[in-house]
Amino acid sequence: MRLHEEPAPELGPREFRVTALLSGISHGTELSLYRGTSAFADRVFDRDLRAFVTPDAPQATYPAPLGYELVGRVDATGDAISEFQPGELVHVGAPHRDEATLNLDTAASSTYPPIHLSEDGPLERWLFVSVGAVALVAAHDAQIKLGDHVAVIGLGAIGLLLVQMAKLAGAAHVTAVDPVAERRALAQQLGADQAIDPLIAPDGTGAAIKRSAGRGVDVAVETSGSTAGLQAAVTAPALGARVVTVGFYQGGAPELRLGDEWHHNRLDMVSSMGAWGAPHRAYPTWDRARVMQTVVDLLHTGAVRTDALPVRHFPFEQAVEAYGWLDVNPNDAVKVALTYDGFNPAGGER
């Protein structure tokens, strides 16, 4: 990895520039690109065909900018923009950079469209807008009903947000599953009724849940991105129940045994995906702008909390070191943030 200097482009009529304060590194998509393990390493996703294909003419995967969670202030706007004003606090789906220039019309139709943010409260909560959108779409795909028993497998940022969203959606009981003790404790602090270490369950996660509750869960949501986590998720539901997958899985799936509980309990498995041209299943009622605004409202009111989630800060100038640290210590912070000139992690903006 390297930091790259490039000149700031002139603003067009429908363009605006954002000065960065914070940006978040994705533990899933970005780390897989950093490691070179994602499906994009040697293929491209043909959106018309909806398939990964090997292009006729080789296309270089790298160099490529990383990141899609940037919080900053509008610095300047083009002559034809009235939707945003200089000085406003915003979240944009831009790569890590100290200044981002976006075309508003193009950005508005992206996976993470620009959105206004409230000034009150800590800025760090806005680092969770993008992953909050992933969690919210997953909660909708889970079709959680009042009184349901929900299992959340994997307690990274998305899983910890989902624990809270499941309770808000009416789940009577939420079981949180993760091998990291600190994350299980965080989940219970945020509303989980039970926390299970999958590494010490004698017959696996599903059997432990079923012995405890007397039956399987109504829905299991897998957010870890590991196929071992997916195997735990398919063991947890009751007969005819649902598994929702959120994780960005890499490579093969040696731990996954579809001939066991998944087959014998006739489970539905749903892939939750709100990017790459895949709209919300209730689109157009739920478009990306509504998803994003709902997450911002949940974070602003405190209905979904992020204050307890540990954030590790690195100055933008140390971005290369930040990725290296995250690669070695993926469980030591729920979120890794890059900070820019104008932001002090100890006291917000300066």
CATH label of the domain that carries residue 334:
3.90.180.10
Identify the residue with better confidence: 270 or 346.
270
Q: Is residue 37 part of a domain?
A: yes
- Tell me, what's the pLDDT at 281? 96
3-state percent helix, strand, coil for the chain, nearest multiple of 5: 30, 25, 45
pLDDT band at residue 348 under the 50/70/90 scheme: low
Q: Is residue 103 part of a domain?
A: yes
144 with 267, same domain? Answer: yes
Say which amino acid occupies 138: A
Task: Give the mean pLDDT of 285-291.
Answer: 97
Say which amino acid occupies 20: A
Q: 171: buried, middle or exposed (CB in 10 Å: 19+, 13-18, 0-12)?
A: buried
Question: Which of 219, 247, 271 represents a domain boundary (last residue)?
Answer: 271
Q: What is the DSSP string of 179-211?
A: S-HHHHHHHHHTT-SEEE-TTT-TT-HHHHHHH
114 with 41, same domain? Answer: yes
What is the tally of structural domains in the chain? 2
Question: Which of 271, 291, 315 represents a domain boundary (last residue)?
Answer: 271
Domain interval for residue 169: 131-271
Q: Is residue 201 part of a domain?
A: yes
- Per-residue pLDDT tens digits for 63-77: 889 999 999 999 999
Question: Which of 256, 271, 286 represents a domain boundary (last residue)?
Answer: 271
Q: Find the CATH number of the domain harbouring 208.
A: 3.40.50.720
Query: Is the pLDDT score of 81 beyond 70?
Result: yes
Q: Is residue 278 part of a domain?
A: no
145 with 252, same domain? Answer: yes
Sign of the dihedral through C-alpha 149, 137, 240, 230: negative
- Tell me, what's the pLDDT at 11? 96
- Per-residue pLDDT tens digits for 290-337: 999 999 999 999 999 999 999 999 999 999 999 999 999 998 999 999
Query: Is the pLDDT score of 244 beyond 60?
Result: yes
- Tell me, what's the pLDDT at 36? 85
- Tell me, what's the pLDDT at 229? 95
Q: Is residue 300 part of a domain?
A: no
Tokens 């994003």 belong to residue: 292
Backbone phi, psi, residue 230, to 5°: -65, -40
201 with 314, same domain? Answer: no
Q: Is residue 279 part of a domain?
A: no
Query: Is the pLDDT score of 346 beyond 90?
Result: no
Average pLDDT, the chain: 94
- Per-residue pLDDT tens digits for 24-47: 999 888 998 898 888 777 788 888
Query: Is the pLDDT score of 160 beyond 90?
Result: yes
- Per-residue pLDDT tens digits for 202-219: 899 999 999 999 999 999
Q: What is the DSSP string of 77-134?
A: E-TT--S--TT-EEEE---S-SEEEEEHHHHHTSSS--EE--SSS-GGGGGGHHHHHH
pLDDT band at residue 347 under the 50/70/90 scheme: low
